[in-house]
Amino acid sequence: MNFIILTLFPDMISSMFGNGVLKRAVDNGGIAVTPVNIRDFAEGKHRITDDRPYGGGCGMVMKPEPITAAIRSAKKEFPEAYTILLTPQGRIFNQKVARDLLQHKTLILICGRYEGVDERIREEWVNDEVSIGDYILTGGEPAALVIVDAVSRLIPGVLGGESSAEEDSFSDGLLEYPHYTRPRSFEGAEVPNILLSGDHEKIRQWRRKSSLMRTLLKRPELLESSSLSAEDIELLEELDLRIKKVLQKYPGNDM
């Protein structure tokens, strides 16, 4: 899968792929990440990429000419590339969106700066608008890195174990179950006995129940959009009753 990232700061992108899983994915040919310096497509001696907004106001706006030239250059090699503008106005990025983007062989990610990009870029070139959250960043580069990371780990072979991505938090709409490793006892805290039992079905049930419990306590809104089995619903009802019994012991609790 190809990720073409249009940015004024290509070094911010390159540094992300020098280590770990993503470096191996690049080395193995699972993904290709190409930072493209928008300034290289600007005209004139000073390679200016921004200007004052029409109508007045504070800040600067990224000019349409360099971005358009950068997109056209990328589309010469990848004509079917799916172009994404990273903007606070876009749809919120989550695991479902990551899976949606996986269907495209090439993504062009436009990293805005300053007050944003000229509106004509959005109107003429953009297929999708994506935001990684309701907060303001100094530029789109961190958002681009988040998207590349999240989408890449869904590509078969990138993580090594084919089930790794399937078991991550949000992969099925729920938070992930707890993990333990050696030592068995650490400062008085023990690994749950069920994980040492060797009974794979009981371990599966424990993990699913733990996942449901965490989601119920920490992110209950996720349950509304999750695909729950009859077994899941039964476990949730049991967990809900237990929580209510505990809370009833505390004065002033009206549950």
pLDDT in tens, 168-226: 555 678 899 999 999 999 999 999 999 999 999 999 999 999 999 999 999 999 898 88
**pLDDT computed for residue 35 by the predictor:** 97
Per-residue confidence at 247, pLDDT binned at 50, 70, 90?
Answer: confident
253, part of any domain: no
Tens-digit pLDDT profile for residues 93-109: 999 999 999 999 999 99
Tokens at residue 212, please?
């449901």
40, part of any domain: yes
**pLDDT computed for residue 111 by the predictor:** 98
Known active-site residue 168 = yes
> For residue 127, is pLDDT > 60?
yes
Residue 81 belongs to a domain with what CATH number? 3.40.1280.10
Which residue in 39, 88, 129, 207 is the catalytic one?
88
pLDDT-above-70 percentage for the chain: 93
Same domain, 131 and 193: no
User: Do the beta carbons of residue 17 and residue 152 sit within 8 Å?
Assistant: no
Which residue range(s) make up the domain with 190?
185-247
70, part of any domain: yes
Same domain, 145 and 217: no
**pLDDT computed for residue 244 by the predictor:** 79
Averaged pLDDT score across all residues of the chain: 91
Same domain, 23 and 147: yes
**pLDDT computed for residue 170 by the predictor:** 57
CB burial readout 80-96, b (16+ within 10 A) else e = ebbbbbbbbebeebebe
User: Do the beta carbons of residue 112 and residue 49 sit within 8 Å?
Assistant: no
pTM: 0.84
Known active-site residue 66 = no
Top pLDDT among 249 and 53 is at 53
**pLDDT computed for residue 162 by the predictor:** 53
Which residue in 24, 99, 122, 153 is the catalytic one?
153
Tens-digit pLDDT profile for residues 130-149: 999 999 999 999 999 999 99
> For residue 18, is pLDDT > 90?
no
Same domain, 102 and 199: no
What 3-state class would DSSP assign to 123? helix
> For residue 59, is pLDDT > 70?
yes
Same domain, 26 and 102: yes
Per-residue confidence at 8, pLDDT binned at 50, 70, 90?
Answer: very high
Choose among 91, 87, 110: nearest CA to 100: 91
What 3-state class would DSSP assign to 126? coil
Which residue in 24, 39, 65, 115 is the catalytic one?
115
